[in-house]
Amino acid sequence: MAPPLLKLDDIRLTFGGTPLLASASLMVGPGERLALVGRNGSGKSTLLKIAAGLVEPQDGEIFRQPTATIRYLPQTPDWQGFATVRAYVEAGLGPADDINRVALVIDRLGLTGDEDPATLSGGEARRAALARVLAPEPDLLLLDEPTNHLDLATIEWLEEELQRTSSALVTISHDRRFLEKVSRATVWLDRGVTRRLDKGFAHFEDWRDQVLEEEEREQHKLARKIEREEHWLRYGVTARRKRNVRRLGELQALREKHRSHRGAEGVATMAASDAAESGKLVIEAKGLAKAYDGLQVVKDFSTRILRGDRVGLVGPNGAGKTTLINLLTGKLEPDEGSLRLGANLEIAILDQKRALDPLETLSHFLTDGRGDSVVVNGQERHVVSYMKDFLFKPEQARTPIRELSGGERARLVLARLLARPANLLVLDEPTNDLDMETLDLLQELVEDFPGTVLLVSHDRDFLDRTVTSTIAPAGDGRWIEYAGGYSDMMAQRKGEELERRKTRSAEQQKAKPAGNAGAPKSAAKKLSYKQKFALETLPKKIDELADEMAALEEKLADPNLYTRDAAAFQRFSKELDTARASREKMEEEWLELEMLREEVEGA
């Protein structure tokens, strides 16, 4: 068995108070794909920094294979000293790395390499940071929130790239669908201790619930045992003195064990403050258009949004999602078209930039500096009590915002937003930096909110769970609204593409010279025997390839495969790529033949 690339054992770290890492372990072998999951503030990013050698623990053993190359993707890259993105990416290469991959990876991530790092948007900065760690093709990739600020197209490209690479992987992400696709094992960091599941993230939540239920049962048994021992000491028959002393000592040990047990982390309480009900019609837009410097961002867009609708907006970064949101809420004047807003609208907006004063305290931020109380749903509450709803500790009331993690900042902004009365919520990338438990609560809030929601997100799973319709760009400033969530939109787009191909084929047939216009009907074009045979047999072959791909994916899901047989891992990966390409080719061939069959039958 090959030695591990990285091994952290019994890692301990405390910043005062409760230990952040009490007994954390992490072992990564060649080719392994691990998802590192846990609540915000549980120490995931710190553990990854320890793995990368950027933070020293107070105790524990660390082994890094001397010949292994390790690359770490931080949440906030350091751009100092780099004039261009290309220079920043090249600085991440080792002596044996291929410099030609820099241009290749930069191009695939939609950058030129000549950009000034200081002027990059959030999405561009994340792509540049990814290029730096992907270009060297290291033995081990440590990725901290790689999908933050990325658009859907880039996230899907990154999934394919990580599935293709032979690099081992440890990733932290709030994107469920991303983790399901790239992970083959899961490490759960909970209350300073790690547990490992040798299955991908898709199996994690059921396993986590079982662990917590078993833990609760054990604590209940322990409490009952303490109760029995206390009863024996008080009322039992007096036995030998030594025996009584021993049992008293055991009882004290049981009490200490029960007291020292850190229960499962609390759950945030989220509820939006109610405003007066809006009118049935919330937004009516007709022919909206907006252009900047000759670039048409929105063109002839019309929609009608009613009370209770939950509308998602998706699209690449820079496509104009924020512009469209601002047009629909009346914050931006259109160049053309008309907008009608419903009666009694109270709008609360979560801006994805979330500009915060790093020196401002949590209490001051939540109360806007007006004392120690916050008004929620018409009732005055002490700010510390309200903070507890969002999992903040009382002692954090006077903590500067700069001391918070990314996830804690996201919760803080949500806490202030939800304290304000609203019947129209505008949420621009609300899922960034939130842990999965808080995401679940936000999902429930969006689903149960009695008003209307406009939601901009790149989180496919979150969109599928929450929205009733999805607006997506169609090019040239055109935007189309689809019923349902992200997956529904993709299915409808696939159907539209099929219809477009059929229409193009029909138009091409009409445009051909009518050389045989006078020929009898019996001379009409027919499918050849070969084409008929292919039309009948291709579906079966496509299904067989799907079964073959599933079998290969199951083999590749073995976390020990690369360690046990690296050549087999590479062979299975290539076979999977070949099967995937063959299936796509067969599907294309079948589609063309199916359109030809319909054309012949129509004639």
Does the annotation place 52 within a ligand binding site?
A: no
DSSP 263: P
Q: What is the rounded distance in angstroms from the CA atom of residue 220 to the CA atom of residue 263? A: 12
Six-digit token pair at 49?
């920094």
Does the annotation place 319 within a ligand binding site?
A: yes
User: Which amino acid is located at 370 in the chain?
Assistant: R
3-state secondary structure of 7: strand
Does the annotation place 40 within a ligand binding site?
A: yes
Cα dist from 420 to 34, 115, 270, 279, 372, whole Å: 40, 40, 13, 19, 16
User: Which amino acid is located at 274 in the chain?
Assistant: D
Which is nearest to 57 in space by CA: 96, 13, 108?
13
Q: What is the rounded distance in angstroms from the CA atom of residue 73 to the CA atom of residue 49? A: 10
Q: Phi, psi at residue 36, to the nearest 5°?
A: -100, 115
User: What DSSP assignment string belongs to 191-234?
Assistant: TTEEEEESS-GGGHHHHHHHHHHHHHHHHHHHHHHHHHHHHHHH
Decide: 309 and 469 in contact? Cβ < 8 Å: yes
Does the annotation place 330 within a ligand binding site?
A: no
Does the annotation place 322 within a ligand binding site?
A: yes
Does the annotation place 123 within a ligand binding site?
A: no
Cα dist from 73 to 68, 91, 323, whole Å: 17, 14, 30
Does the annotation place 244 within a ligand binding site?
A: no
Decide: 145 and 433 in contact? Cβ < 8 Å: yes
Six-digit token pair at 472?
């997506």
Does the annotation place 315 within a ligand binding site?
A: yes
Decide: 199 and 215 in contact? Cβ < 8 Å: no
Name 488's Cβ contacts closer than 8 Å, sequence gap at least 6.
464, 470, 482
Cα dist from 389 to 80, 220, 414, 582, whole Å: 39, 26, 11, 53
Q: What is the rounded distance in angstroms from the CA atom of residue 187 to the CA atom of residue 68? A: 21
Cα dist from 602 to 506, 507, 518, 595, whole Å: 11, 14, 18, 10
Does the annotation place 541 within a ligand binding site?
A: no
Query: How many Cβ atoms are within 10 Å of 116's Cβ, its own excluded?
Result: 11
In the chain the first and final C-alpha atoms are separated, in Å, by 66
3-state secondary structure of 16: coil
Q: What residue has token string 């009331």?
A: 397
Q: What is the rounded distance in angstroms from the CA atom of residue 339 to the CA atom of residue 353? A: 26
Decide: 120 and 150 in contact? Cβ < 8 Å: no
Query: How many Cβ atoms are within 10 Å of 578's Cβ, its own excluded?
Result: 14
Name 22's Cβ contacts closer than 8 Å, sequence gap at least 6.
12, 191, 192, 193
Q: Would the CA dihedral through 529, 532, 537, 543 be positive or negative?
A: positive
Does the annotation place 343 within a ligand binding site?
A: no
User: Which amino acid is located at 105 in the chain?
Assistant: V
Does the annotation place 113 within a ligand binding site?
A: no
User: Which amino acid is located at 130 in the chain?
Assistant: L
Decide: 135 and 92 in contact? Cβ < 8 Å: yes
Query: Strands 59-64 and 6-13: what pairing?
Result: antiparallel
Does the annotation place 602 within a ligand binding site?
A: no
Q: Residues annotated in the binding site for ATP, as ranges?
A: 38-45, 315-322
Q: Residues annotated in the binding site, as ranges?
A: 38-45, 315-322
